[in-house]
Homo-oligomer: A and B are copies of this chain.
Amino acid sequence: MVGRIAGFPDNAVITEVGPRDGLQSEPAFVPTAQKIQLIQSLLDAGLRRFEITSFVSPRAVPQMQDAVEVIAAFRDRSDAHLTALVPNMRGAEAAIEAGVDAMVLFASASESHNLKNVNRTRSESFQGFAQIAKRAEGTGVALQGAIATAFGCPFEGEVALKAVVDQAKAYRDLGMDYITLGDTTGMATPMLVIQRVQALAEAVPTVDIALHFHNTRGVGLACAYAGLSQGITHYESSIGGLGGCPFVPRATGNVATEDLAYLFAESGVQTGTDLGRLIEAAQLAERIIGRELPGQIMKAGPRLQTASMDSVRTANG
Protein backbone atom coordinates (compact mmCIF):
# COMPACT_ATOMS: atom_id res chain seq x y z
CA MET A 1 0.00 0.00 0.00
CA VAL A 2 1.33 3.42 -0.87
CA GLY A 3 0.46 6.80 0.51
CA ARG A 4 0.72 8.52 3.85
CA ILE A 5 -1.67 9.15 6.71
CA ALA A 6 -3.29 12.56 6.28
CA GLY A 7 -1.46 15.27 8.22
CA PHE A 8 1.66 13.20 8.87
CA PRO A 9 5.07 14.57 7.84
CA ASP A 10 6.79 12.87 4.89
CA ASN A 11 10.03 12.41 6.81
CA ALA A 12 11.05 11.86 10.41
CA VAL A 13 14.41 11.56 12.14
CA ILE A 14 15.04 8.92 14.77
CA THR A 15 17.80 9.52 17.31
CA GLU A 16 19.09 6.26 18.75
CA VAL A 17 19.57 6.51 22.52
CA GLY A 18 20.27 2.85 23.25
CA PRO A 19 24.03 3.22 23.69
CA ARG A 20 23.42 5.78 26.47
CA ASP A 21 19.91 5.59 27.91
CA GLY A 22 19.56 1.92 27.11
CA LEU A 23 22.88 0.65 28.43
CA GLN A 24 23.46 3.00 31.36
CA SER A 25 21.42 0.94 33.79
CA GLU A 26 22.83 -2.43 32.72
CA PRO A 27 24.53 -3.86 35.79
CA ALA A 28 27.26 -5.75 33.89
CA PHE A 29 29.76 -3.60 31.98
CA VAL A 30 29.34 -4.00 28.24
CA PRO A 31 32.85 -4.15 26.73
CA THR A 32 33.72 -1.12 24.61
CA ALA A 33 34.24 -3.27 21.53
CA GLN A 34 30.68 -4.57 21.82
CA LYS A 35 29.27 -1.05 22.21
CA ILE A 36 31.15 -0.04 19.08
CA GLN A 37 29.88 -3.10 17.22
CA LEU A 38 26.30 -2.27 18.22
CA ILE A 39 26.60 1.36 17.14
CA GLN A 40 28.16 0.26 13.85
CA SER A 41 25.21 -2.04 13.21
CA LEU A 42 22.84 0.87 13.85
CA LEU A 43 24.78 3.01 11.37
CA ASP A 44 24.56 0.15 8.89
CA ALA A 45 20.78 0.16 9.39
CA GLY A 46 20.62 3.80 8.32
CA LEU A 47 20.45 5.65 11.64
CA ARG A 48 22.52 8.83 11.72
CA ARG A 49 21.80 10.50 15.05
CA PHE A 50 23.04 8.97 18.28
CA GLU A 51 22.94 9.84 21.94
CA ILE A 52 26.07 7.80 22.17
CA THR A 53 27.27 8.06 25.77
CA SER A 54 27.34 10.30 28.82
CA PHE A 55 30.12 12.11 30.64
CA VAL A 56 29.14 11.31 34.18
CA SER A 57 31.10 10.11 37.16
CA PRO A 58 32.46 6.62 36.43
CA ARG A 59 31.76 5.83 40.07
CA ALA A 60 28.06 6.74 39.73
CA VAL A 61 27.56 5.15 36.30
CA PRO A 62 30.45 2.75 35.61
CA GLN A 63 28.80 1.59 32.38
CA MET A 64 29.69 4.94 30.75
CA GLN A 65 33.37 4.98 31.80
CA ASP A 66 34.48 4.40 28.20
CA ALA A 67 32.77 7.54 26.83
CA VAL A 68 35.97 8.87 25.23
CA GLU A 69 36.77 5.60 23.46
CA VAL A 70 33.23 5.15 22.13
CA ILE A 71 33.18 8.64 20.67
CA ALA A 72 36.66 8.23 19.23
CA ALA A 73 35.46 5.24 17.23
CA PHE A 74 32.88 7.32 15.36
CA ARG A 75 33.94 10.97 15.49
CA ASP A 76 35.38 10.79 11.98
CA ARG A 77 32.03 9.64 10.53
CA SER A 78 31.02 13.02 9.17
CA ASP A 79 27.54 11.73 8.35
CA ALA A 80 26.87 10.75 11.96
CA HIS A 81 25.64 13.21 14.57
CA LEU A 82 26.91 12.27 18.04
CA THR A 83 25.60 13.68 21.28
CA ALA A 84 26.51 12.93 24.86
CA LEU A 85 24.62 13.57 28.08
CA VAL A 86 26.49 16.06 30.26
CA PRO A 87 25.52 16.70 33.90
CA ASN A 88 28.06 19.37 34.85
CA MET A 89 31.05 21.46 33.80
CA ARG A 90 33.51 18.64 34.26
CA GLY A 91 31.44 16.49 31.93
CA ALA A 92 31.15 19.35 29.45
CA GLU A 93 34.91 19.83 29.34
CA ALA A 94 35.37 16.13 28.67
CA ALA A 95 32.65 16.00 26.02
CA ILE A 96 34.10 18.97 24.12
CA GLU A 97 37.55 17.42 24.32
CA ALA A 98 36.19 14.07 23.07
CA GLY A 99 34.65 15.69 20.01
CA VAL A 100 30.90 15.37 20.31
CA ASP A 101 28.66 17.25 17.91
CA ALA A 102 26.34 18.35 20.69
CA MET A 103 26.01 18.11 24.45
CA VAL A 104 22.65 17.21 25.95
CA LEU A 105 21.87 19.15 29.14
CA PHE A 106 18.99 17.85 31.19
CA ALA A 107 16.74 18.85 34.04
CA SER A 108 13.35 17.63 35.16
CA ALA A 109 10.15 19.60 34.82
CA SER A 110 9.32 18.59 38.39
CA GLU A 111 11.43 19.77 41.32
CA SER A 112 11.46 16.52 43.28
CA HIS A 113 12.58 14.39 40.34
CA ASN A 114 15.38 16.84 39.59
CA LEU A 115 16.53 16.68 43.21
CA LYS A 116 16.41 12.89 43.16
CA ASN A 117 18.13 12.60 39.80
CA VAL A 118 20.95 15.14 40.08
CA ASN A 119 20.79 16.30 43.71
CA ARG A 120 20.19 19.90 42.66
CA THR A 121 17.21 22.22 42.47
CA ARG A 122 16.02 23.09 39.00
CA SER A 123 17.28 26.61 39.53
CA GLU A 124 20.74 25.28 40.43
CA SER A 125 20.67 23.07 37.31
CA PHE A 126 20.01 26.10 35.11
CA GLN A 127 22.80 28.11 36.77
CA GLY A 128 25.12 25.28 35.77
CA PHE A 129 23.72 25.23 32.23
CA ALA A 130 24.48 28.94 31.80
CA GLN A 131 28.12 28.30 32.69
CA ILE A 132 28.33 25.37 30.31
CA ALA A 133 26.75 27.43 27.54
CA LYS A 134 29.43 30.06 28.07
CA ARG A 135 32.15 27.42 27.98
CA ALA A 136 30.77 25.94 24.75
CA GLU A 137 30.85 29.25 22.89
CA GLY A 138 33.21 29.16 19.94
CA THR A 139 33.95 25.44 20.29
CA GLY A 140 31.57 24.39 17.54
CA VAL A 141 29.83 22.04 19.97
CA ALA A 142 26.08 22.67 20.05
CA LEU A 143 23.78 22.41 23.04
CA GLN A 144 20.57 20.43 23.26
CA GLY A 145 18.12 20.41 26.11
CA ALA A 146 16.19 17.53 27.60
CA ILE A 147 13.13 18.00 29.78
CA ALA A 148 12.75 14.96 32.02
CA THR A 149 9.34 14.13 33.56
CA ALA A 150 7.79 16.28 30.81
CA PHE A 151 4.55 14.25 30.93
CA GLY A 152 4.31 13.47 34.61
CA CYS A 153 6.45 12.87 37.69
CA PRO A 154 6.61 9.60 39.63
CA PHE A 155 6.78 11.59 42.87
CA GLU A 156 4.50 14.56 42.22
CA GLY A 157 1.99 13.17 39.72
CA GLU A 158 0.83 15.62 37.04
CA VAL A 159 3.38 18.14 35.78
CA ALA A 160 2.03 21.56 34.83
CA LEU A 161 2.21 22.48 31.16
CA LYS A 162 3.64 25.83 32.24
CA ALA A 163 6.67 24.16 33.83
CA VAL A 164 7.43 22.44 30.52
CA VAL A 165 6.92 25.58 28.45
CA ASP A 166 9.02 27.72 30.80
CA GLN A 167 11.84 25.19 30.72
CA ALA A 168 11.75 25.08 26.93
CA LYS A 169 11.96 28.89 26.81
CA ALA A 170 14.91 28.82 29.21
CA TYR A 171 16.69 26.27 26.99
CA ARG A 172 15.96 28.37 23.90
CA ASP A 173 17.38 31.41 25.67
CA LEU A 174 20.61 29.44 26.15
CA GLY A 175 20.78 29.07 22.36
CA MET A 176 19.36 25.60 21.96
CA ASP A 177 17.44 24.71 18.81
CA TYR A 178 16.65 21.08 19.73
CA ILE A 179 14.71 20.22 22.86
CA THR A 180 13.55 16.77 23.92
CA LEU A 181 10.42 16.04 25.91
CA GLY A 182 11.36 12.98 27.95
CA ASP A 183 8.69 10.56 29.10
CA THR A 184 10.98 9.45 31.91
CA THR A 185 8.59 7.06 33.62
CA GLY A 186 6.00 6.20 30.97
CA MET A 187 3.36 8.77 31.91
CA ALA A 188 2.92 10.30 28.45
CA THR A 189 -0.46 9.92 26.77
CA PRO A 190 -1.46 10.98 23.26
CA MET A 191 -3.60 13.82 24.62
CA LEU A 192 -0.72 15.20 26.73
CA VAL A 193 1.57 14.93 23.69
CA ILE A 194 -0.81 16.97 21.58
CA GLN A 195 -1.30 19.55 24.33
CA ARG A 196 2.43 19.98 24.93
CA VAL A 197 3.63 20.13 21.34
CA GLN A 198 0.90 22.62 20.43
CA ALA A 199 1.94 24.85 23.34
CA LEU A 200 5.63 24.58 22.40
CA ALA A 201 4.96 25.31 18.74
CA GLU A 202 3.57 28.61 19.92
CA ALA A 203 6.09 29.34 22.71
CA VAL A 204 9.36 28.30 20.98
CA PRO A 205 8.49 28.14 17.27
CA THR A 206 12.12 28.13 16.08
CA VAL A 207 13.02 25.05 18.11
CA ASP A 208 12.93 21.43 16.93
CA ILE A 209 10.89 19.48 19.47
CA ALA A 210 11.88 15.83 19.88
CA LEU A 211 9.73 13.22 21.58
CA HIS A 212 11.19 10.45 23.71
CA PHE A 213 8.65 7.92 24.92
CA HIS A 214 8.77 4.97 27.24
CA ASN A 215 6.38 2.08 26.63
CA THR A 216 5.91 1.48 30.35
CA ARG A 217 2.12 1.67 30.05
CA GLY A 218 1.89 0.29 26.51
CA VAL A 219 1.01 3.52 24.74
CA GLY A 220 4.48 4.54 23.50
CA LEU A 221 3.70 4.07 19.82
CA ALA A 222 0.24 5.63 20.21
CA CYS A 223 2.04 8.69 21.62
CA ALA A 224 4.37 8.70 18.61
CA TYR A 225 1.30 8.54 16.37
CA ALA A 226 -0.07 11.57 18.20
CA GLY A 227 3.23 13.35 17.64
CA LEU A 228 3.14 12.59 13.92
CA SER A 229 -0.44 13.89 13.76
CA GLN A 230 0.97 17.23 14.95
CA GLY A 231 3.78 17.23 12.40
CA ILE A 232 6.59 16.46 14.85
CA THR A 233 9.58 15.05 12.97
CA HIS A 234 12.11 14.20 15.74
CA TYR A 235 11.85 11.08 17.89
CA GLU A 236 14.22 9.27 20.24
CA SER A 237 14.18 5.54 20.89
CA SER A 238 16.35 2.63 21.88
CA ILE A 239 17.19 -0.42 19.79
CA GLY A 240 15.23 -3.46 20.95
CA GLY A 241 13.73 -1.32 23.70
CA LEU A 242 17.01 -1.46 25.65
CA GLY A 243 16.73 0.19 29.05
CA GLY A 244 14.17 -0.56 31.71
CA CYS A 245 12.12 1.68 33.92
CA PRO A 246 13.84 2.27 37.27
CA PHE A 247 10.47 2.71 38.94
CA VAL A 248 8.76 -0.52 37.94
CA PRO A 249 10.77 -3.75 37.91
CA ARG A 250 8.63 -5.74 35.45
CA ALA A 251 7.73 -2.81 33.18
CA THR A 252 9.35 -1.99 29.89
CA GLY A 253 11.27 1.22 29.25
CA ASN A 254 12.17 2.95 26.02
CA VAL A 255 10.14 2.48 22.87
CA ALA A 256 12.06 0.12 20.56
CA THR A 257 13.70 1.84 17.59
CA GLU A 258 12.74 -0.88 15.14
CA ASP A 259 9.09 -0.83 16.27
CA LEU A 260 9.01 2.95 15.86
CA ALA A 261 10.63 2.71 12.42
CA TYR A 262 8.06 0.06 11.43
CA LEU A 263 5.14 2.28 12.51
CA PHE A 264 6.63 5.20 10.60
CA ALA A 265 7.30 3.23 7.42
CA GLU A 266 3.81 1.73 7.45
CA SER A 267 2.34 5.21 7.90
CA GLY A 268 4.23 6.57 4.89
CA VAL A 269 6.79 8.50 6.95
CA GLN A 270 10.34 7.93 5.68
CA THR A 271 13.19 7.52 8.16
CA GLY A 272 16.02 6.34 5.91
CA THR A 273 16.33 3.13 7.90
CA ASP A 274 16.28 -0.51 6.80
CA LEU A 275 13.89 -2.55 8.94
CA GLY A 276 15.66 -5.85 8.35
CA ARG A 277 18.97 -4.37 9.50
CA LEU A 278 17.35 -2.70 12.50
CA ILE A 279 16.01 -6.11 13.51
CA GLU A 280 19.53 -7.54 13.17
CA ALA A 281 20.85 -4.74 15.38
CA ALA A 282 18.14 -5.48 17.96
CA GLN A 283 19.10 -9.15 17.91
CA LEU A 284 22.75 -8.15 18.40
CA ALA A 285 21.69 -6.01 21.39
CA GLU A 286 19.88 -9.03 22.86
CA ARG A 287 23.00 -11.18 22.47
CA ILE A 288 25.18 -8.48 24.04
CA ILE A 289 23.10 -8.08 27.18
CA GLY A 290 22.14 -11.73 27.30
CA ARG A 291 18.40 -11.53 27.82
CA GLU A 292 15.17 -10.95 25.93
CA LEU A 293 14.36 -7.37 24.98
CA PRO A 294 10.79 -6.00 24.77
CA GLY A 295 10.84 -5.01 21.07
CA GLN A 296 8.00 -6.70 19.18
CA ILE A 297 8.88 -6.55 15.49
CA MET A 298 12.18 -8.34 16.17
CA LYS A 299 10.14 -11.34 17.30
CA ALA A 300 7.35 -11.27 14.72
CA GLY A 301 9.36 -10.15 11.72
CA PRO A 302 8.20 -7.79 8.95
CA ARG A 303 4.51 -7.76 7.94
CA LEU A 304 4.83 -9.57 4.65
CA GLN A 305 7.04 -12.40 5.80
CA THR A 306 4.65 -15.14 4.77
CA ALA A 307 4.45 -18.53 6.42
CA SER A 308 4.08 -21.97 4.92
CA MET A 309 0.60 -23.43 5.32
CA ASP A 310 2.11 -26.63 6.67
CA SER A 311 4.00 -24.92 9.46
CA VAL A 312 1.06 -23.65 11.42
CA ARG A 313 -1.72 -24.97 13.58
CA THR A 314 -4.73 -22.67 13.77
CA ALA A 315 -7.69 -22.84 16.12
CA ASN A 316 -10.74 -21.30 14.53
CA GLY A 317 -10.30 -17.58 14.10
Beyond A1-B192, A116-B312, A182-B317: 13 further Cβ-contacts under 8 Å? A56-B316, A60-B315, A61-B316, A116-B314, A157-B306, A190-B266, A218-B295, A219-B259, A219-B262, A225-B225, A246-B313, A246-B314, A250-B299
Chain A, 1-22, contact with B by CB distance < 8 Å: what is the 0/1 string?
Answer: 1011100000000000000010
Asked if A186 contacts B300 (CB within 8 A), the reply is yes
Q: Nearest residue in B to A118 (C-beta to C-beta)?
A: B316
Interface residues of A in 196-226 (CB under 8 A from B): 215-219, 221-222, 224-226
Kindly state whether residue A28 has any CB partner on chain B within 8 Å.
Answer: no
Residues of B within 8 A of A267 (CB): 189-191
Kindly state whether residue A146 has any CB partner on chain B within 8 Å.
Answer: yes
Total identical chains: 2
Asked if B251 contacts A5 (CB within 8 A), the reply is no
> Within the assembled complex, what's the spacing in Å between the Cα atoms of A24 and B240?
30
Kindly state whether residue A297 has any CB partner on chain B within 8 Å.
Answer: yes
Kindly state whether residue A166 has any CB partner on chain B within 8 Å.
Answer: no
**Option from B21, B194, B306 in Cβ contact (under 8 Å) with A154:** B306
- Give the bracket for the number of chain A residues in contact with chain B: 35 or more
Asked if B217 contacts A262 (CB within 8 A), the reply is yes
Asked if B191 contacts A5 (CB within 8 A), the reply is yes
Chain A, 227-249, contact with B by CB distance < 8 Å: what is the 0/1 string?
Answer: 00100000000000000011110
Q: Chain B nearest CB: distance from A90 CB in Å?
A: 14
Residues of B within 8 A of A313 (CB): 246
Residues of B within 8 A of A155 (CB): 306-309
A interface secondary structure, majority = loop
Kindly state whether residue A54 has any CB partner on chain B within 8 Å.
Answer: yes
For the complex of A and B, 10 pairs with smallest distance between CB atoms:
A218-B296, A189-B266, A218-B259, A250-B299, A251-B300, A221-B222, A154-B307, A106-B317, A216-B300, A251-B299
Q: Chain B nearest CB: distance from A291 CB in Å?
A: 13
Asked if B54 contacts A303 (CB within 8 A), the reply is no
Kindly state whether residue A39 has any CB partner on chain B within 8 Å.
Answer: no
Q: A152-B303, A306-B155 are in contact. Are A85 and B317 (CB under 8 A)?
A: yes
Asked if B87 contacts A5 (CB within 8 A), the reply is no
Kindly state whether residue A136 has any CB partner on chain B within 8 Å.
Answer: no
Asked if A25 contacts B250 (CB within 8 A), the reply is no
Q: A246-B315, A314-B117, A316-B61 are in contact. Are A219 and B266 (CB under 8 A)?
A: yes
Asked if B216 contacts A152 (CB within 8 A), the reply is no
Residues of B within 8 A of A224 (CB): 222
Kindly state whether residue A46 has any CB partner on chain B within 8 Å.
Answer: no
Q: Nearest residue in B to A2 (C-beta to C-beta)?
A: B191
Residues of B within 8 A of A21 (CB): 317
> Within the assembled complex, what's the spacing in Å between the Cα atoms of A117 and B307?
14
Asked if B146 contacts A306 (CB within 8 A), the reply is no
> Within the assembled complex, what's the spacing in Å between the Cα atoms of A135 and B310?
35
Kindly state whether residue A268 has any CB partner on chain B within 8 Å.
Answer: yes
Provide 11 A-B residue pairs closer than 8 Å at the C-beta atoms, listed in order of the A residue: A1-B191, A3-B191, A21-B317, A153-B306, A182-B317, A187-B303, A215-B296, A217-B262, A225-B225, A229-B229, A250-B292
